[in-house]
Chain A
């Protein structure tokens, strides 16, 4: 502790139990206090902190804004949390190279705002973008609605500076493409803080589109909306974003904000196309035809930028609105092949009904990334049962050829379910990659891989393990 204070200063190290309370959770359900929290102000301080922790045999958990949903930043094994909160400089925005170089603590939206000043934009736009940090976005391979056309973080990270578990500071990738040697950038993106601490990121920026068209299609039920979405993808026209909101979500949003969504709709598709005016006209016409052919009872365009912003605001504040229905919610973000979405949604809703939970579906339907939100009241309804229903939902998605997570990550929430997707050799290969960076397993122990017991004292751990093993056969 004394060493950490020497490195970062007294005001940037927390260790008293009352100071650690706010660092013991993320946006999910699990809690566990770290042994200390340190906020380095420079890359050099990060490296020194890592070396000091190593000398003491302490594990490290990197942390951004704590908006993660899968427990990735919960400190298991008495780890020290290294926060990137003070590493929040935008180092450069290069309009010619179309690259931003930023520190990991910069909020996602700040990059977008800085890029906009030079006629560019940064594509990944998770709903948490006002708060969540670039470092955390890299660690979870974050997506967002516009990942549909532009891809997730992995498609936009050109380079990463990383402090390895040894305290050595290294760089992978950067402004120049295809540097000699193994390009570990795609391995680091989505590695959930298990291979090092990210201290700098090179991000791809794109030219702002000339024209944006946003419209809302109204359907009588979820089934028709889902079939229309599949038909749009099948046509080969990939919109910039395509989101589904179901009846429960629409009701909650109308009650919470002045968004005036059609109250009688069984489901809505929020569709956006971007490009040259000639392109957006062409695509919008084609998409509207498909929507109507597949049962849209109404298709309304956002006529002004303000209307469009209101629609997106509604989408991104959706989770907050759901709290009006029940105080707590639990959601997974499994992904399924897009042709399977209508069938999977039917099964998902049947599971919620069988368990007696109100379910809200508000998700990235264009890339098959489900977000079934089970609403409940933790004061009277036990979390174990909610987790059981959620695990059944995951199972349905995996059986349909899907994946456990599209953009939230595995963390300690879904690590035991990894056996559902990968065989022992597949997991061993992932472990070999991780160990090339962190042979001693001191970076964010207990995450991603199944079977370990670094997080065994987390209360829900036993439930998750039992569910993962029970449903395996």
Chain B
């Protein structure tokens, strides 16, 4: 099972590691990181490598530390709605284990056959589930990690509510393996809804936004809401300018009612639920991807008609999928940042990232604190140095 990584799967923006270490246990992760400290090497931790290129290319790249063989369920207590899993467990493998008891981890990072649980947290993965289930870290309650100096550390626990000391577990989210390598996570679970249906409206771009805003403003509990534009609409099986895709989930009676509410507002047809796998995968498969996010009141003035993008309007986020010239991107980034938003290059060549002023754009956290965190958790700078602002 699973999808084999390609030969150069660990290359980052044209950089290839001198070697690839495949850890099969926490001890091997500790050994690899200690070894890197002794030899002053730089290592990049990876799982399914679906988000390996997010961030600036590492300043040095001696070894890839792949944890996708560190997989499997450690403990699953269905009656507690809690499971502890190794970091390299793929989302597909996890879903299969939980489905037997009618449960799931409701996070949708895309490419579930490859994406790992650890990588999903480490990369703060976005996706359709952000609308109803918010951030991946909201569904993680405990962790085991190996810090940059090779120390094994446990945080959180197996209980769903916890303020026993500092919450390192959720703090690891979005640190992209630059402070610690995640080796095990304890997850909060939820029941698979009785019924799930998806609807698609084939419309023009302004209609898609108008209908999306109206649906969001209704306060109805939608399960997911996306707009797909330009050449990306092929993934939804349509040739319209734009596709507004809505997912509804819950007890059968509620889903019927929600379906009526949606159809009252926009003309749409049923579509198979696996459309969401294709939508979530688009930003991970494109040669060039930029994630834009903005304050709800200031959506950027981008002409989406004829341009490939996946937009999560209720989360004020869009993934641009077709490379635009560097000057135009610079202007988009500048206008977003001026309004308090961001434009992050998730997939682009090293040259493009450099010319654009870096993958991240303006840093939005105080650098003094960021540096202090990096120095304390990874004192010799062995974990993907330069990938994150610090």
- Cβ A405 vs Cβ B164 within 8 A: yes
* Interface contact A94-B296, CB-CB below 8 Å: yes
| With A181-B365, A433-B376 as contacts: A425 and B161 at CB distance below 8 Å | no
Residue of B124, B165, B192, B373 touching A448 (CB-CB under 8 A): B165
Min CB gap A121→B, angstroms: 11
Q: Which of B5-13, B58-66, B355-363 contacts A (4 or more CB under 8 A)?
A: B355-363
User: Known interface pairs A97-B296, A143-B161, A434-B166. Does A182 touch B390 (Cβ–Cβ under 8 Å)?
Assistant: yes
- Contact A186 B170, beta carbon cutoff 8 Å: yes
Top 3 closest A-B pairs, CB basis? A236-B191, A207-B219, A186-B170
Contact with B along A184-196 (1 / 0, CB 8 A): 1011011100000
- Contacts A155-B138, A233-B81, A435-B372: A187 and B315 contacting too (C-beta < 8 A)? no
Chain A interface bracket (under 10, 10 to 19, 20 to 34, 35 or more): 35 or more
Which residue on chain B has the smallest CB distance to residue A141? B163
Work out how many contacts link A and B, with CB atoms closer than 8 A. 256
Say yes or no: A418 contacts B165, CB within 8 Å: yes
Our pick among A96, A230, A278 for the contact of B79 (Cβ within 8 Å) is: A230
- Residues of A contacting B275 with CB < 8 Å? none
Q: Does B258 contact A (CB under 8 A)?
A: yes
Query: Is B342 at the interface (CB under 8 A from chain A)?
Result: yes
* 16 other A-B residue contacts (CB within 8 Å) besides A178-B126, A180-B389, A187-B170: A171-B364, A172-B365, A177-B130, A181-B363, A183-B174, A184-B171, A236-B103, A275-B221, A282-B194, A337-B77, A338-B79, A338-B160, A421-B164, A429-B377, A433-B373, A436-B376
Q: Which residues in B have their C-beta under 8 angstroms from that of A99? A: 296
* B153–A429 touching, CB < 8 Å: yes
**Contact assessment for A180 and B159 in the assembled complex, using a CB-CB cutoff below 8 Å:** no
Q: Let me know if B210 is at the binding interface, CB within 8 A.
A: no
Query: Known contacts being A180-B389, A337-B80, A406-B162, is A187 close to B219, with CB within 8 Å?
Result: no
11 chain-A/chain-B pairs, Cβ below 8 angstroms: A96-B296, A140-B163, A143-B161, A172-B365, A180-B363, A190-B163, A233-B79, A403-B162, A404-B164, A435-B376, A436-B375
Distance to closest chain B CB from A341 (angstroms)? 10
Contact B163 A437 (CB under 8 A): no
Please tell me if A225 contacts chain B, counting CB pairs below 8 Å: no
Instruction: Please name all residues of chain A whose beta carbon is closer than 8 Å to the beta carbon of B154 when the two chains form the complex.
Output: 422-423, 426
- Whether B167 lies near A279 (C-beta < 8 A) is no
Are B254 and A278 neighbours in the complex by a CB distance under 8 Å? yes
Among A23-62, those with CB < 8 Å from B are none
A439 in contact with B372 (CB, 8 Å): yes
Is B349 an interface position by the 8 A CB rule? no
User: Shortest Cβ distance from B263 into chain A, in angstroms?
Assistant: 16
Chain A 375-415 interface residues, beta-carbon cutoff 8 Å to B: 401-410
Q: Which of B354-390 contact A (CB under 8 A)?
A: 360-366, 368-370, 372-373, 375-377, 388-390
* Contact partner, A175, options B340, B361, B368, Cβ 8 Å: B340
Cβ A427 vs Cβ B165 within 8 A? yes
* A residues in contact with B129, CB < 8 Å: none
Task: Give the residues in chain A near B18, CB-CB below 8 Å.
Answer: none
Beyond A97-B316, A335-B159, whether A436 also contacts B372 by CB under 8 A is: yes
Give the contact stretch, choosing among A289-297, A310-318, A362-370, A454-462: A362-370
B285 at the interface (CB under 8 A from A): no
B217 CB within 8 Å of chain A: yes
A36 CB → nearest B CB, Å: 28
> B147, B153, B254: which contacts A275 (Cβ < 8 A)?
B254
Residues B138 and A151 in contact, CB atoms below 8 Å apart: yes
With known contacts A177-B315, A405-B163, A339–B361 Cβ distance under 8 A: no
